[in-house]
Structure 1
């Protein structure tokens, strides 16, 4: 415990200043570690390029993704770098525009899950008791179902479209984030630092927002980054089953399904959408692994 002088009136200013200085130091060290990780930098570079391609798809893509031509099932040429599909559409243009759906669904669904999961996990971990029991039992019920199966059930109940895919993926991710946040809050709230803050008679909301949650950011950031890649895989799988974003909007999963019968004689039609999924998920996983190593408290001096 801190001395009584540390808990005297006005000491909250000193604690806040110390906390801010420690936070700046921690993130500075984290950034340095992240820069030293080659795999994390590769993942970050690919993620940034993917975001730029998704945002500038209309400018980057050489053709409209829905434009059909008589040159169907054409192999890669200088005119069509990834060839054309069964309807004569440019595969490269469809891969580029398909990145929009994947990035949107992956990022927005995780943000939605964070928006719901963090408050639930924080309240459960900080207050405990019956509140904790009720919240975590609800989370356990959702986690009792396989993630992909639950996403399929939700999409069968709802109308297949991009918005509902985001909703379905957010629902299956909320319990994971809630449990991680709860565990972090349980660990942080027992530290001497938080006990000292509580002794200052600050409001519980301020204690949570200013002192508890900032110390739980590391696992939230790592888990969220890794889950974006997983969300992209599930989105592609739902589109493959016809339960995701509907045509004519291009998606990587739908392009895989639509041209699957041509894979033996015309493999480029399915290889490139498949590679797009592989590279995207790998990039987010590399970045997530790098963040985990950089934020791991066991690596701190």
Structure 2
């Protein structure tokens, strides 16, 4: 019998479709190029500029729409990096246990104990600000969480009756991992993937606010919040609009991830 999707999952998926559509169809939705400047500096919202313009005369609405692409690229790429690093580590630690598990757990715990934003700041400062470096950095920072969750799930699966039966028939470890362990850990991986996208987008915006995220002139929400903060008394929309975009996107992916975790 097909399981019904929860309200949270449906809401998250609807929001995801809207956000993804904005990213894919940005050239047709945004009335201006994200880097196009005009003489209308700090213009108020109007029919021509829905959310006004920034200090350089760039259309704020257009930059937010184009910024959706940048944020999703960074978030998705970082989540992929986290899974590629963390999932194999968690799989090896959880399945083989012993000294391998002990060593890997110590490494995982050290990374988890470090504040994620501080670690991201250090790595980004070393590598330099770019979309690729930022994605790699955020993936490395969130990989230990993936490893710990996968390890815990593998612990559960490896003690099940069907795995014990496979061992009794002489099945190899690689066969058991491929046929039983990996398929039964994918839900945890996908759930954490969605949550990691939200974490990466939020951390990316935070780094951009500090000047270490996506470099200009790329339309980045965190950078827009930073630039707009200088004009809060007269044009609060310059910071509030991109800030809302960050919050909505983070909320969307968190809804999806948490709903997958709560599913039976």
TM-score, normalised to structure 2's length?
A: 0.96
Residues in 2 aligned to 1:263 and 1:56: alpha-carbon distance in whole angstroms: 30
**Equivalent of 2:231 in 255, 262, 266:** 262
SS of the residue corresponding to residue 126 of structure 1 reads helix
Task: Determine the C-alpha separation between the residues in 1 that align with 2:20 and 2:200.
Answer: 16
Aligned-residue CA RMSD (Å): 1.2
Residues 102-150 of structure 1 deviation map (CA, whole Å, 9 limit, x = unaligned): 1011111111111111111011110011111121211122122101110
SS in structure 2 of the partner of residue 215 of structure 1: coil
Q: Matches of 2:195 and 2:132 in 1, distance apart? A: 21
Gaps of 5+ in 1: 1-24, 297-301
The alignment status of 1:162 with 2:131, answered yes or no, reads: yes
**Mapped contact 2:64–2:242 kept (Cα < 8 A):** yes
Q: Secondary structure at the match of 1:257?
A: helix
Output the CA distance in 1 between the equivalents of 2:216 and 2:255. Answer: 31
Q: List runs of 5+ in structure 2 lacking aligned partners.
A: none
Q: By how many angstroms is 1:73 displaced?
A: 0.8
Output one character per residue of 1:176-214: Cα deviation in whole Å (capped at 9) or x when no partner: 000111111111101111100112222211110111121
1:126 partnered with 2:83 = no
Q: Which residue of 1 aligns with 2:81?
A: 112
- Return the offset for 1:165: 0.6
The answer to whether the Cα contact below 8 Å between 1:113 and 1:174 also exists between their aligned partners in 2 is yes
What is the CA–CA distance in structure 2 between the aligned matches of 1:39 and 1:128, rounded to whole Å?
A: 36
In 1: Cα distance, 2:105 partner to 2:133 partner: 25
The ranges of structure 1 where at least 4 consecutive aligned residues each deviate by more than 2 angstroms after the TM superposition are none
Which among 59, 71, 77 is matched to residue 102 of structure 1? 71
Displacement, 1:221?
1.9
**Maintained 8 Å contact 1:245/1:251:** yes
Q: Matches of 2:45 and 2:8 in 1, distance apart?
A: 30
| Alignment correspondent of 2:31 | 62
Farther-moved stretch of structure 1 (187-196 vs 209-218): 209-218
Q: Matched residue pairs, number?
A: 264
Give the superposition deviation at 1:293.
2.4
Residue in 1 aligned with 2:53? Answer: 84
In the alignment, which residue of structure 2 is the partner of 1:146? 115
Deviates more, 1:172-181 or 1:216-225: 216-225
- Structure 1 or 2, whichever has the larger Rg, is 1
Instruction: State yes or no: 1:216 paired with 2:185.
Output: yes
Matches of 1:154 and 1:258, distance apart in 2: 24
Shift in Å, 1:289? 2.5
Structure 1-normalised TM-score? 0.85
1:196 partnered with 2:165: yes
CA distance in 1, matches of 2:94, 2:7: 36
Whole-Å separation in 2 of the counterparts to 1:169 and 1:95: 22
> CA–CA distance in 1 between the matches of 2:36 and 2:80?
33
Matched residues in 2 for 1:98 and 1:239: separation? 12
Aligned counterpart, 1:244: 213
Question: Which segment is superposed worse, 229-238 or 47-56?
Answer: 47-56
Query: Counterpart in 1 of 2:242?
Result: 273
